[in-house]
Amino acid sequence: MMLLAHILATILTAILSSIPTKDLGPLRNVAIKVMNESAELTNAFSHYSDDLPPQTVTEEFDFIVVGASPSGSVLANRLSEIEGWSVLLLEAGGEPSILTRLAPSATAFSSTEYDWGYYAEQQDSFCSGCVRKRVKLPRGKCLGGGSSTNYMIYTRGNKLDYDMWQAMGNPGWSYEDVLPYFLKSEGANIKINDTGYHNKGGPLGVSDVPYRTRSATVFVEAAQEAGYPYVDNNGEHQIGTSYAQATMRNGLRSNAGTSFLRPVRHRKNLRIRRGAHVTKVLINAARKEAYGVEYVKNKKIYTAFYRKEVIISAGSLNSPQLLMLSGIGPKGELERLDIPVVKNLPVGEIFYDHVSFTAMGFLLNESITLNLVEDLFKPKTYTDLLFHGRGPLTNLGGTNSLVWLKTNLTDQDHPTLPDVELIFSPGFPGIDFGLFYRINFNIGDEIYDTLWKPFIGKPVFQVSPMLMHPRSRGRMKLRSSDPFEAPKYIENFFSDRENLDITRIITAVREIQRIVGQPALQKYGAKMIDVPIPGCEMYSFDSDEYWECAMRAVPTSVYHQMGTCRMGPEDDKDTVVDSNLRVHGINSLRVVDLSVVPRPLSGHTVAPAYMIGEKGADIIKNHWGALGV
């Protein structure tokens, strides 16, 4: 059976590798059609019922939550714990397909109806090697939001992140304050477990990834040889190396829908409506008070009123859009689109994201990396998953191991605050023959054919540096007043005056090279792939000038957008909500999601999204005298 799997994988690799990249479209379209049809089948046998009222009837609820993001899903669950409260949750997308539960599915579903289809605006200073020179911004459009389609990495960030939030004028958001809310969600099953930093009893599955390639293990060994201690990255210390912890239970994705919504969907005081696109928050301009929402479902317009509050939890890319469509935002921008100004606030004026670089590969002399194609032909791959929750299909879209490091270029007053993360992948983006990874990173044919395609089927791994505290920051604007038209997202990667963002990533490249040069990896002959990126051939390969050119040619977002509705005191003119998540100057309206993050985090963002939902729910319960009920 092993030999047969190897023969079949070799044949398939030869066939798919011979197809010109430009001709892969029909094959990709077939795959996307299958995934979209799996979505339709899932919705046909949905766990949820959409009990819409007649259009002539206006409903009233205690709370209206806009968006089944991780934060919004937690809110719907926790607020509906109070039997005397009624909660309406409105989500523009549908129910996630069962296929999204498979860990490697993250790359595939970013091109389907589960994705909003957003791209950043074209800018001359970066992304010359991207299709249409634009960075792709995948965002989950379904119950659970991005938690249903992301790469599942669970990192909370650094303690100092949250202590800095509090120091910026946000009482109650120190690490000591927020740790209990991380623990409240977490149902942990991990081996390295710092005492007091994990909880086994929460609804969200958090576990070690069951499947590890030999290359992932060797990379961690090499990092330790380079001086990085092995750490619980969600524990006492962060700088160091470890295997990824993931939002996973029994080898399958644990998302916000399965963890927080499905278990409580039968509560009589909770209504969950899919395919309900909220187009406006209804606000009494004279009283500066929200009083309901307008939404579209099945091409019909509905209105819902609240008795207590409207809560926007549509995520960092959609929450600011909804605020601006409702008259809350920069005065000049709203007036430009003839939107009546209710409150002049800097919505979307700040836009943080984690930038990475996905074109740094290494060739080995022995096959210890991921061979997913061959594994797909092995029956054991499927029995391991179904009966034991392990095996190759529990691999996180290629991510296995991580390193957190502190460069010597920034914030020397906080030596325990890392500024770069190294993400190890036991494969190269050509592993799927150009069907999805290339599309996910929006990489053009020339770069794919030059740098990735020649290494299909070879023992290659990749390490991607992720900049966690960028000096550069973007912004977002409405494209029009049409709620169904995507806004403009302007990333501004590498735009800081000191060029420090580029310099720190180059520093990270040198650190990657130092780790790869350690005995653990040199045992397998690890060698950097020295094929120049098209457009950068004029620079000496491996020079600082070459790496700057390469990074500007093919940067990628890690989909960690934050800060578009920043939290802070009202006298801080860069903020939109206060520390209780209330929109400045507007009664009965809160924003509870990653858009409120006041400064970039030292890690991935889904764990903080759950925490913000948990803390936000308690803030609201406390406000209405129900905390502890």
Answer yes or no: are the C-beta atoms of 152 and 245 closer than 8 Å: no
| Residue 628 in domain | no
Can you give the CATH number for the domain in which 274 is found? Answer: 3.50.50.60
Burial class of residue 129, CB neighbours in 10 A (0-12, 13-18, 19+): buried
Q: What is the distance of C-alpha 400 from the center of its chain?
A: 17
Instruction: Quote the mean pLDDT of the chain.
Output: 90
Show the domain range for 78. Answer: 2-623
The yes-or-no verdict on residue 3 having pLDDT over 70 is no
The yes-or-no verdict on residue 365 having pLDDT over 60 is yes
Question: What is d(CA 92, CA 68) in angstroms, rounded to the nearest whole number?
Answer: 8
Q: In this structure, is the dihedral angle defined by the CA atoms of residues 621, 624, 627 and 629, taken in order, positive or negative?
A: negative
Of the listed ranges 39-43, 478-482, 573-577, the least confidently predicted one is 39-43
| Residue 236 in domain | yes
Which pTM was predicted? 0.94
| Residue 629 in domain | no
Catalytic member of 198, 469, 584, 604: 604
Report pLDDT for 430: 73
> Residue 344: which H helix or E strand, with range?
strand 343-344
Q: What is the pLDDT of residues 393-425, one digit of tens each?
A: 777 776 789 999 999 887 777 899 999 999 999
| Residue 275 in domain | yes
Number of domains in the chain: 1
Predicted confidence band of residue 428 (pLDDT cuts 50, 70, 90): confident
What is the mean predicted confidence (pLDDT) over 154-170? 97
Report pLDDT for 9: 47
The yes-or-no verdict on residue 36 having pLDDT over 80 is no
Q: What share of the chain is helix, strand, coil (3-state, %, to 5)?
A: 35, 20, 45
The yes-or-no verdict on residue 343 having pLDDT over 80 is yes
Q: What is the pLDDT of residues 8-17, one digit of tens each?
A: 445 545 555 5
Which amino acid does the sequence have at 416?
Answer: T
Report pLDDT for 43: 61
Report pLDDT for 41: 58
What is the mean predicted confidence (pLDDT) over 80-94? 96
Q: What SS3 state is found at 457?
A: coil
Stronger pLDDT, 240 or 101, i.e. the higher one? 240
| Residue 248 in domain | yes
| Residue 122 in domain | yes
Q: What is the pLDDT of residues 102-127, one digit of tens each?
A: 887 777 777 788 899 999 999 999 99
What is the mean predicted confidence (pLDDT) over 153-167? 97
The yes-or-no verdict on residue 552 having pLDDT over 70 is yes
Answer yes or no: are the C-beta atoms of 281 and 312 closer than 8 Å: yes
| Residue 202 in domain | yes
The yes-or-no verdict on residue 51 having pLDDT over 80 is no
Question: What is d(CA 109, CA 148) in angstroms, rounded to the nearest whole number?
Answer: 9
Q: What is the pLDDT of residues 497-534, one digit of tens each?
A: 899 999 999 999 999 999 999 999 999 999 999 999 99
Catalytic member of 198, 354, 560, 584: 560
Burial class of residue 438, CB neighbours in 10 A (0-12, 13-18, 19+): buried
Answer yes or no: are the C-beta atoms of 280 and 483 closer than 8 Å: yes
Instruction: Flag whether 281 is marked binding.
Output: no
The tokens describing 17, both together, are 């590798």
Question: What is d(CA 582, CA 290) in angstroms, rounded to the nearest whole number?
Answer: 11
- Portion of the chain with pLDDT greater than 70, in percent: 89
Answer yes or no: are the C-beta atoms of 394 and 426 closer than 8 Å: no
Report pLDDT for 113: 85
Of the listed ranges 248-262, 304-318, 438-452, the least confidently predicted one is 438-452
Of the listed ranges 1-10, 176-185, 229-238, the least confidently predicted one is 1-10
Question: What is d(CA 371, CA 584) in angstroms, rounded to the nearest whole number?
Answer: 52
The tokens describing 396, both together, are 């996180």
| Residue 196 in domain | yes
Answer yes or no: are the C-beta atoms of 423 and 331 closer than 8 Å: no
Of the listed ranges 14-18, 169-173, 454-458, the least confidently predicted one is 14-18
Report pLDDT for 4: 52
DSSP H helical ranges for 157-231? 159-167, 175-185, 214-225
Among this protein's residues, is 604 annotated catalytic?
yes
Contacts of 45 (CB under 8 A, 6+ apart): none
Question: What is d(CA 183, CA 196) in angstroms, rounded to the nearest whole number?
Answer: 9
Report pLDDT for 387: 65
Among this protein's residues, is 560 annotated catalytic?
yes
